[in-house]
């Protein structure tokens, strides 16, 4: 009997540094997709060992910004607090996973970090740079709040279908330049990038929204985690 694919989930830590944090929806989505969630605490010296243990990687979101120095820019007004230790660990995980062609899903800030890992850049603050509001969704965060247009012929379209898709993204930063070899697979009506992917990898997808949370209202989103689990496979590596 083949085992369930082991899918790593990056963890956050509380402000006191005393408790590892992971929203239950992430683990539930992996379980529903047939995978086995593996929590990944920040431990830079063990990055390679974590990836040897996992068949796929999910870089989760969080309430912090990616340091602009990582994509060659100075900090500008509107750029928020950072979690340098977590971001450095996740960036190392992402780069090594991509090098190994391990299936990867970046969620919210994880999508932005995927772009940075591929040499892309970010809008540090949509309001300050583009005078755009409306991308920070109020509670409840699991309800879809706006639509995106999924590009045909993309991995994302194969999973959820091309055309309009209702999503639940909440963010003040966004991908500006997606990076080398990266395809934009969904945009908001105002043109903001909401999903990216790397066609040269067997599964490397980033979404600005939270499919693990919105799937209870829009079943199509469950296909994203199902696709990740299918790419990971169930027989080990």
pLDDT of res. 99:
97
φ, ψ (nearest 5 deg) of residue 160 = -115, -5
Both structure tokens of 98:
């991509």
Question: Does 1 reside within a domain?
Answer: no
Give the pLDDT of residue 236. 41
* Residue 170 resides in a domain: yes
Task: Please choose, from the candidates 123, 146, 119, the residue with its C-alpha nearest in 3D space to the C-alpha of residue 135.
Answer: 146
d(CA 96, CA 99): 5
Distance CA 188, CA 190 (A): 5
Q: What is the pLDDT of residues 172-205, one digit of tens each?
A: 999 999 999 999 999 999 999 999 999 999 999 9
Residue 1: pLDDT band (50, 70, 90) is low
CATH number (domain holding residue 143)? 3.40.50.880
When comparing pLDDT for 211 and 235, which is higher? 211
Question: Does residue 235 surpass a pLDDT of 50?
Answer: no
The predicted model gives 76-94 an average pLDDT of 93
**Terminal CA-CA length for the chain:** 15
Q: Which two tokens stand for residue 195?
A: 């999903």
- Look up the domain containing 40 and give its range: 6-232
Question: What is the 8-class DSSP label of residue 68?
Answer: G
- Answer whether residue 180 is part of any domain: yes
pLDDT digits (tens, 9 = 90+) for 111-158: 999 999 999 999 999 988 887 776 777 778 788 888 999 999 999 999
| pTM, rounded to two decimals | 0.95
Residue 40 lies in a domain: yes
The per-residue pLDDT for 141 is: 77
Among the listed residues 103, 9, 90, the one whose alpha carbon sits nearest the alpha carbon of residue 56: 103
Six-digit token string for 209: 């929204």
Let me know if residue 237 belongs to a domain.
no
Gap between the Cα atoms of 225 and 30, Å rounded: 6
Residue 55 is encoded by which pair of tokens?
């068949």
Res. 63: pLDDT tops 60: yes
DSSP 157-217: HHHH-SEEEEE----S-EEEE--TT-EEEEE-TTS-EEEEE-TTSSSEEEESS-HHHHTTT
73 labelled catalytic = no
Output 8 or 133, whichever has higher pLDDT: 8
- Active-site pick, 123, 172, 210, 221: 210
- The answer as to whether 165 is a domain residue is yes
Length of the chain: 237
**C-alpha torsion sign, points 223, 87, 198, 145:** positive
- Residue 174, helix vs strand vs coil: strand
Cα–Cα distance for residue pair 193/188, rounded to 1 Å? 7
**Domain total in the chain:** 1
Cα(129)–Cα(88) distance, integer angstroms: 25
pLDDT, position 139: 76
pLDDT category, 44, cuts 50, 70, 90?
very high
Active-site hit among 90, 194, 197, 212: 212
In a domain, 88, yes or no: yes
d(CA 9, CA 61): 10
Q: How many CA atoms lie within 13 A of 184 on its CB side?
A: 16
210 included as an active-site residue: yes
Considering the candidates 90, 108, 171, 172, report the single residue annotated as catalytic: 108
Q: Is 164 a catalytic residue?
A: no
Which pLDDT tens digit goes with each residue over 94-104? 999 999 999 99
Strands 193-197 and 204-207, how do they pair? antiparallel
Q: What is the pLDDT of residue 134?
A: 63
234 pLDDT more than 80: no
User: Which helix (H) or strand (E) covers residue 1, if one does?
Assistant: none
On the question of pLDDT at 237 being above 80, the answer is no
């Amino acid at each position: 009997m083949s085992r369930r694919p082991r899918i790593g989930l990056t963890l956050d830590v509380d402000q006191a540094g005393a408790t590892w944090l992971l929203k239950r929806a992430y683990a539930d989505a992996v379980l529903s997709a047939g995978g086995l969630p593996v929590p990944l605490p920040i431990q830079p010296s063990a990055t390679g060992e974590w990836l040897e243990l996992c068949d796929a990687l999910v870089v989760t979101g969080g309430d912090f910004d990616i340091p602009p120095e990582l994509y060659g820019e100075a900090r500008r007004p509107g750029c928020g607090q950072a979690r340098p230790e977590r971001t450095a660990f996740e960036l190392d995980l992402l780069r090594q996973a991509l090098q190994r062609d391990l299936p990867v899903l970046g969620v919210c800030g994880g999508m932005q970090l995927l772009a940075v890992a591929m040499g892309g850049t970010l809008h540090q603050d949509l309001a300050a740079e583009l005078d755009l509001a409306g991308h920070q969704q109020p509670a409840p965060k699991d309800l879809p709040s706006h639509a995106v247009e999924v590009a045909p012929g993309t991995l994302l379209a194969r999973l959820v279908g091309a055309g309009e898709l209702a999503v639940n993204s909440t963010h003040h930063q966004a991908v500006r330049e997606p990076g080398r070899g990266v395809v934009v697979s969904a945009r908001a009506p105002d043109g903001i990038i909401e999903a990216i992917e790397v066609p040269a990898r067997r599964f490397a997808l980033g979404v600005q929204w939270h499919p693990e949370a919105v799937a209870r209202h829009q079943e199509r989103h469950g296909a994203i985690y199902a696709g990740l689990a299918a790419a990971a496979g169930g027989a080990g590596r």
